[in-house]
Amino acid sequence: MDDMAVRLTGISRRFGSVRAVDDLHLTVERGSVVAMLGPNGAGKTTAMSMMLGLAPPDTGTATLFGGTPAEAIRAGRIGAMLQDGAFVPGATVRDVIELARALYPHPLDTDRILTAAGLTGLARRRLDKLSGGEAQRARFAFALAGDPDLLILDEPTAAMDVAARQAFWTAIRSYAADGRTVVFSTHQLPEADEYADRIVVLAAGRIVADGTPAQIRATAGVRDDVSLDRAFLALTESSVATETEH
């Protein structure tokens, strides 16, 4: 049996002449919180899509808990937040939570989901009337609904205000404290610094650094008291999405 929550073995994906993800090898241990960082276009969303089985890799394999992503999803073990994921038109926050709960074998209680996502006062609001940050909280509610073993979250706090971010990270902390696994991407580097056990830095579809926040600073050659932003820039400054040769 594979002990790893996520195992990416040499996955690659091209779009035309762009190598969005280039021979990526990554394992994520169960119970860890892993941040995926990288400049715009580094391949984070593409890698997460392949993790979830939404896009097949051109080469390599992606497994979750030792099986295919589709098997893990069917077993109700995976929750995900994707960038700008569309909602059912006309539905309310409560409707979409009930819809998500119906997809999973052991869903969380609706009130618990509403509380964890900070949506208790908005349960009857139509999704198309939500603000950007509120819609992001609704996506988080959808991801949490099935009480999954692994959360894969693409820029989960984008558009959230300060209070919503704090509530989000409190929910993630209690979720991870139960030994469950989180993989998230962000451009808010202090979030990775504070909440991730491990940071994977991507540039041009490849891993350029991987380790604890302290190890990332060491790889970048900066001191421990220097901001993670400085370390990140040192690691990724020279990178641009790789064009393949014709």
Q: What residues make contact with ligand ATP under the rule CB under 6 A?
A: 15, 18, 20, 38, 40-46, 241
Q: Among residues 18 and 123, whose Cβ is nearest to ligand ATP?
A: 18
Closest CA to 144 of 156, 134, 132: 156
48 vs 130 by CB, closer to ligand ATP: 48
Count of C-beta atoms within a 10 Å radius of residue 229: 11
Our CB check for ligand ATP shows the closer of 43 and 107 to be 43
Cα distance between residue 132 and residue 121, in whole Å: 16
Per the CB < 8 A criterion, the answer to whether 136 and 158 are in contact is yes
Q: Rounded to 10 degrees, what is the CA torsion of 56, 62, 63, 69?
A: -30
Q: How far is the CB of 187 from ligand ATP (least distance, A)?
A: 6
Nearer to ligand ATP, 117 or 202 (CB): 202
CB of 86 to ligand ATP, least distance (A): 16
The encoded tokens of residue 53 equal: 């089985």
Q: Which two tokens stand for residue 216?
A: 């990332």
Least Å distance between CB 22 and ligand ATP?
A: 10
Q: In what order do the strands lie in the sheet with 4-15?
A: 59-64, 4-15, 18-29, 242-243
Minimum distance of ligand ATP from residue 80's CB (angstroms): 14
> What are the strands, taking DSSP E only, across the chain?
4-15, 18-29, 33-37, 59-64, 78-81, 150-154, 181-185, 198-203, 206-211, 242-243
To ligand ATP, the closest distance from the beta carbon of 93 in angstroms equals: 25
Q: Which is nearer to ligand ATP, 13 or 180 (CB)?
A: 13
Query: Minimum Å distance from CB 13 to ligand ATP?
Result: 8
Question: From the CB of 204, what's the least distance to ligand ATP, in Å?
Answer: 9
Sign of the alpha-carbon dihedral angle for 38, 42, 43, 45:
positive
Comparison of 44 and 180: residue with beta carbon closer to ligand ATP? 44
Distance of alpha carbon 39 from the chain centroid: 15
